[in-house]
Amino acid sequence: MRAITVNQGGLENLQIVEKTAPTPKAGELLVQWHATSLNFHDYLVATGGIPVADGRIPMSDGAGEVIAVGKDVFDWKVGDKVMSMFFPGWTEGKPSGPKMAALPGETIDGFMLEQSCVAASGVTAIPEGYTYAEAATLPCAAVTAWRALLVEGKLQAGDKVLIEGTGGMSIFALQLAKMAGACIYATTSSPAKADRLKEMGVEAVVNYKEDPKWGKSISRISKGGVDHVLDVGGGSTMRQSIEAATIGGHIASIGILGNGRKGEITFPKLFFKHLRMTGLAVGSREMQEKMVDAINISGMKPIIDRSFAFEELADAFRYQASGQHFGKIVLEW
């Protein structure tokens, strides 16, 4: 079977290799993987931004079909369609070091391969009617948006939500917030993307390149600020995210896009606005399963920008880095 490995970082060092198909042990499933999707975390691994052992198989998202089950597996059978978990060891409850120790594509091998064995507890069912490519978009980006809004944010109908940019997580947040009856605002630097956001039901869009104080603009347009901010830039966006939030609002700190590893925030605004800030990284199996239940009821489908073939992983990452995409980028095989 084929797999792709990361070697010393750099897209030019991604290699297609041949491996022997494994056999599931007790408590494991053998899955034939058919699709994965790109996340910023995967890009950092592939380019050396997150150092990993040479020969690591990248990609934290995967969707496929169970083709064999090991002993003592009772919840799954051959033919079941499943998708991966970002933290396969985090079943429920609060996060902890041991629960998050196994991270596919970083600390353990990921899903850029044709077959692998996984713990029976490390996958969930895919939504009804979903293709493998559609399902592969969910485990990282969609679960992150779900947790930020529905779990940590306790989103209610009528709340105001700000999404930043048009990457996969932000578009999922838009869809989930709309599904819950919220009013959505957004930022982007592209007039064409702004039009698409409005077509999807966004109330107002601010161009952050044309308006460097976009946080105040969002606060003004939303008449007092938004209840939920999904901050994807870290240090590069947090000051404006605080400006955009209403008194008593919630900011979910999710990413470090751009030059966002370090930055300054305005502390008086943070505490005089009585803001609650949550740093979060994806979620648990319980969260993923509840999100799938909601998708099955609502019929929500992901926005897939472009699909690449197995051997085109490097090209897919280059396209991701260009920032042209709207929604998710997938690979199918």
Count up the domains in the chain and report the number. Answer: 2
Question: What is the predicted pLDDT for the residue at 180?
Answer: 96
| Alpha helices, H only, the chain | 40-47, 132-136, 143-146, 168-179, 191-199, 214-221, 238-244, 267-272, 285-298, 313-322
147 and 120 inside one domain: no
Mean pLDDT of the chain: 96
CA 259 to chain centre: 19
8 A C-beta contact, residue 316 and residue 38: yes
- Residue 286 included in any domain: no
SS3 32: strand
With a cut of 90, say whether residue 134 has pLDDT above it.
yes
Rounded to whole angstroms, the Cα distance separating 215 from 56 reads 40
- Residue 287 included in any domain: no
22 and 100 inside one domain: yes
Rounded to whole angstroms, the Cα distance separating 282 from 34 reads 22
With a cut of 90, say whether residue 308 has pLDDT above it.
yes
197 and 321 inside one domain: no
8 A C-beta contact, residue 186 and residue 169: no
Rounded to whole angstroms, the Cα distance separating 7 from 52 reads 8
Token code pair at residue 249: 């609002």
Residue 262: which pLDDT band, with cuts at 50, 70 and 90?
Answer: confident
132 and 146 inside one domain: no
15 and 104 inside one domain: yes
127 and 234 inside one domain: no
Residue 311: which pLDDT band, with cuts at 50, 70 and 90?
Answer: very high
8 A C-beta contact, residue 136 and residue 82: no
In percent, the amount of the chain with pLDDT more than 70 equals: 100
- Residue 289 included in any domain: no
Identify which of 37, 104, 20, 17 has the alpha carbon closest to the alpha carbon of residue 333: 37
- Residue 291 included in any domain: no
Q: How far is CA 318 from CA 23, 142, 198, 308, in A?
A: 34, 22, 27, 12
Residue 131: which pLDDT band, with cuts at 50, 70 and 90?
Answer: very high
8 A C-beta contact, residue 110 and residue 274: no
- Residue 326 included in any domain: yes
Rounded to whole angstroms, the Cα distance separating 90 from 105 reads 16
Question: What is the predicted pLDDT for the residue at 264?
Answer: 81
- Residue 293 included in any domain: no
Residue 280: which pLDDT band, with cuts at 50, 70 and 90?
Answer: very high
Other residues' Cβ atoms within 10 Å of the Cβ of residue 197:
25
Token code pair at residue 328: 């998710």
With a cut of 80, say whether residue 245 has pLDDT above it.
yes
Q: What CATH code is carried by the domain that includes residue 176?
A: 3.40.50.720
181 and 62 inside one domain: no
Q: Which residue has the tokens 């002993």?
A: 71
Residue 8: which pLDDT band, with cuts at 50, 70 and 90?
Answer: confident
**pTM metric for this prediction:** 0.96
Lowest-confidence region among 93-97, 209-213, 254-258, 300-304? 254-258
With a cut of 70, say whether residue 260 has pLDDT above it.
no
With a cut of 80, say whether residue 258 has pLDDT above it.
no
**Structural domain of 68:** 2-137+302-332
Residue 3: which pLDDT band, with cuts at 50, 70 and 90?
Answer: very high
DSSP letters spanning 137-168: TIIIIIHHHHIIIIIIS---TT-EEEEESSBH
76 and 148 inside one domain: no
Taking residues 30-59, what's their average pLDDT? 96
Rounded to whole angstroms, the Cα distance separating 294 from 151 reads 13
Residue 194: what residue type?
Answer: A
Residue 265: which pLDDT band, with cuts at 50, 70 and 90?
Answer: confident
Taking residues 54-67, what's their average pLDDT? 97
Taking residues 151-162, what's their average pLDDT? 98
8 A C-beta contact, residue 152 and residue 250: yes
219 and 328 inside one domain: no
8 A C-beta contact, residue 282 and residue 147: yes
273 and 177 inside one domain: yes
The torsion angles phi and psi of 111, rounded to 5 degrees, stand at -120, 20
Q: What CATH code is carried by the domain that includes residue 132?
A: 3.90.180.10
127 and 188 inside one domain: no
- Residue 35 included in any domain: yes
26 and 151 inside one domain: no
- Residue 147 included in any domain: yes
